[in-house]
């Protein structure tokens, strides 16, 4: 982007870093999050059976990062719920997306061009959250770079990291998958961002904060749009990961890496041509299983089916 913006880059990025998230960008974050919830298998059924559990789930999608970083730093887990205007905004959006007659709101926001705009705006909020988390942790643990990374990560990708427990609210329990075992793209890119901002704050990067914010956000937005348009689930990090993996974990014994198919057990993501992928990049478990033609239980043991 530096070439494009020429000598004004510093000024542009400084102005950019002063954008207020509330209400427009926050609203976009809530819309995209609630839509992602609605696209989870079973979520519409839960919304009909138990609007309350559905609302709690939606709040975890929208405010999970704040709740999780609160737990990490022993700050009240309910702190985000003291911000009434944000909660009301998210609740109205939840209501409209789930219950509007004929599903018009969902259909409207799911219209690709609009969705691209909303998803891009949501990515902008991610930058702000990561930066906020890293700065907040740094104020308490100046030398604790691991704490800074973890809090920035939790703030930016809290909903994903808490997904097991968010699902539990809806009566779904999938212990064999979690975002640590198999990171989805948003969780991964947030971790990378958190590392970058921690390095920046500790002055290991030759960049000002607003410059890094601008560049990281551009990367997020462009990459998100590319993935949505091409329906690609290939992470841009895949080559780096593969190199890193072979350097760190593979040179010893030549075992199959995470991007290769392990001999047994959980299958790699890319090898599954039939796997449907939701907007969060999570492969629908049931579809993946059905694609095998036989019923493979979740815990990986093949039961006798004939």
Considering only 3, 20, 82, 203, the residue that binds its own copies (CB under 8 A) is 82
State in angstroms the smallest separation of the CB of 290 from its own copies. 11
Question: How many of the other CB atoms lie within 10 Å of CB of 271?
Answer: 10
State the nearest-atom distance from the C-beta of 180 to its own copies, in Å. 4
Note whether 10 and 1 are within 8 A (CB). Answer: no
- Residue 271 sits in the site that holds its own copies (CB under 8 A): no
Pure H helices in 6-144: 9-16, 24-38, 43-49, 51-72, 84-99, 104-109, 112-140
CA–CA separation, 281 and 19 (whole Å)? 28
For position 73 contacting its own copies by CB under 8 A, the verdict is yes
Q: Which is nearer to its own copies, 2 or 271 (CB)?
A: 271
- Stretch 27-56 residues interacting with its own copies (CB under 8 A): 42, 45-53, 56
The closest of 30, 141, 162 to 83, measured between CA atoms, is: 30
Q: Which residues pair with 283 in a beta bridge?
A: 277
Contact residue for its own copies among 3, 253, 273, 293 (CB under 8 A): 253
Q: Establish if 99 lies at the interface with its own copies (CB under 8 A).
A: yes
Q: Determine if 4 is a binding residue for its own copies (CB under 8 A).
A: no
From the list 27, 151, 212, 283, which residue makes contact with its own copies (rule: CB under 8 A)? 151
Return the SS3 of 281: coil
Candidate ranges 12-20, 70-78, 203-211, 221-229; the one touching its own copies (CB under 8 A): 70-78
């Amino acid at each position: 982007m530096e070439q494009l913006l020429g000598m004004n880059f510093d000024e542009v990025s400084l102005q950019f870093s002063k954008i207020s998230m509330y209400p427009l960008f926050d609203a976009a974050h809530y819309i995209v999050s609630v839509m992602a919830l609605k696209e989870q298998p079973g979520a519409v059924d839960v919304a009909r059976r138990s609007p309350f559990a559905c609302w709690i789930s939606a709040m975890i999608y929208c405010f999970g990062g704040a709740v999780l970083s609160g737990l990490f730093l022993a700050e009240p887990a309910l702190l985000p719920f003291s911000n009434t205007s944000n909660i009301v905004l998210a609740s109205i959006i939840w209501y409209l997306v789930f219950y509007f007659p004929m599903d018009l709101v969902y259909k409207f926001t799911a219209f690709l061009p609009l969705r691209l705009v909303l998803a891009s705006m949501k990515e902008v909020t991610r930058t702000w959250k990561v930066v906020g988390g890293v700065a907040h942790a740094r104020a308490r643990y100046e030398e604790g770079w691991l704490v800074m990374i973890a809090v920035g990560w939790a703030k930016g990708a809290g909903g994903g990291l808490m997904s097991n427990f968010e699902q539990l609210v809806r009566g779904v329990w999938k212990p064999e998958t979690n975002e640590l075992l198999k990171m989805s793209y948003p969780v991964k890119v947030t971790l990378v961002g958190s590392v970058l901002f921690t390095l920046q704050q500790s002055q290991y990067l030759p960049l000002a904060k607003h410059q890094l914010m601008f560049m990281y956000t551009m990367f997020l937005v462009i990459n998100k749009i590319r993935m949505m348009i091409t329906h690609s689930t290939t992470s841009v990090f895949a080559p780096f990961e593969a190199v890193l993996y072979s350097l760190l974990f593979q040179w010893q014994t030549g075992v199959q890496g995470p991007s290769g198919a392990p001999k047994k057990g959980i299958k790699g993501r890319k090898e599954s041509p039939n796997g449907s992928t939701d907007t969060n990049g999570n492969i629908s478990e049931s579809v993946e299983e059905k694609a095998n033609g036989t019923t493979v239980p979740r815990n990986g043991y093949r039961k006798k089916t004939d």
